[in-house]
Amino acid sequence: MIERTPVLNVLTHVILLSGLVLLMGPLWIAFVAATHDMRTVNSPPVELWPGPYLFDNIREAWAISDFGRKFLNTFYVSVGVVAGKIVIACITAFSIVFFNYRGRMVVFWLVFITLMLPLEVRIVPTYAVAANALQPFQFIADWTGISWLWAQITGGALSMEWNLLNSYTGLILPLVATATGTFLYRQFFMTIPDELVEAARMDGAGPVRFLIDVLIPLSRTNMAALATIMFVYSWNQYLWPILIITDRANYGMVAVELRTLIPNQLTTGGGAPTWHLAMAATLLIMIPPILVVIFMQRWFVRGLINTDK
């Protein structure tokens, strides 16, 4: 029920505006802090209006943290994660929706369960696997006696090792599996009428052709929505990179790097609290996700709310 009375109108606008202030307030303060020098930022009262040093601060923060390299790294990883997620989600959903095989429901539920196991929950075992991605195979080989057999035949011990620490692969692979994306695709695929599938079969198109010629073009809006969400998600990755990247100079990601700019006992060691630099870097780091969202917005919204057949 939609009512329109002057009182309600005022009230709803008050609520809207306070929402806006709550949302934009911290951003504004960060922006203001990024435009002053250290002394102004650190002396009360809190400044509410911008000062003249924005570009100086940005330049300094950029230089201190070598952000050029970090931006590129994060960009590679985000693109990799997004591409991986889209491919995997699309293929998994394709299999679940369009093929009739025994393990179908099992696959579906396995994917479903991973919703309850985000990276943060399984981070220790994931780290163990990243340290040696072939570890599970080694375990199986040891357990089944294949290692023993190998040792008998070749005379050397069977040891499989694939270390993902300090590598792009390590940053990307564990983030690629996505239940959300799979479900998004599944929902979309289920809206494809059976007749369309059958028409393609009559036209002689096999499953792969159907996927490429019909499903993928039809799911473009889905893809845009997924890509947007996942780009932001992987751009902001913090916990996983901090764990597996020790070679920060070469493989550092922006969120981790930002953390080192935020003053505390560890980073400043009692030195100057450089909040103005931290805030300048924050602004910088926000830019790429914002650009992606702005560019993708049109398709993104359509993909989430509209089945657009």
Partner 1 sequence: MADISIRDVRKAYGKDEVVHGVSLDIRNGEFVVILGPSGCGKSTLLRMIAGLEAITSGEIAIAGKVVNELEPRHRGCAMVFQNYALYPHMSVADNIGYALKVAGMNKADRLEKVTRVAGSVGLGEFLDRKPGQLSGGQRQRVAMARAIIREPKVFLFDEPLSNLDAKLRTQMRHEIRRIHNRIKATSVFVTHDQHEGMTLADRMVIMNKGTIEQVGTPEDVYLHPASTYVAGFIGSPAMNFLSGRITEAQRAVLIDGGARLAITPEAARGHDGLRVQVGLRPEQIGLAQPGQPGMTAAFDFAEELGSARLYHFLHDGQPVTVHSDQKVDFTVGQDVTLAIPEASVHLFDATTTRSLTADTALQARAAARLHVA
Chain residues that interact with partner 1, rule: CB under 8 A: 193, 195-196, 198-205, 209, 213-214, 217-218, 309
Give the nearest distance from C-beta 207 to partner 1 in angstroms: 11
Which is closer to partner 1, CB of 104 or CB of 201?
201
Which is closer to partner 1, CB of 142 or CB of 198?
198
Which is closer to partner 1, CB of 12 or CB of 191?
191
Q: Please report the DSSP string for 230-278 in residue order.
A: HHHHHHT--HHHHHH---HHHH--HHHHHHHHS-SHHHHTTS---HHHH
Which is closer to partner 1, CB of 134 or CB of 196?
196
Distance CA(291)–CA(279), nearest Å, equals 19
The answer to whether the CB of 245 falls within 8 A of the CB of 74 is no
The contacts of residue 120 (CB under 8 Å, 6+ apart) are 239
The contacts of residue 148 (CB under 8 Å, 6+ apart) are none
Give the nearest distance from C-beta 98 to partner 1 in angstroms: 14
Give the nearest distance from C-beta 106 to partner 1 in angstroms: 21
Measured N-to-C along each axis, helices 254-261 and 275-305 cross at an angle, to the nearest 10 degrees, of 150
Which is closer to partner 1, CB of 200 or CB of 292?
200
Give the nearest distance from C-beta 172 to partner 1 in angstroms: 31
Give the nearest distance from C-beta 205 to partner 1 in angstroms: 5
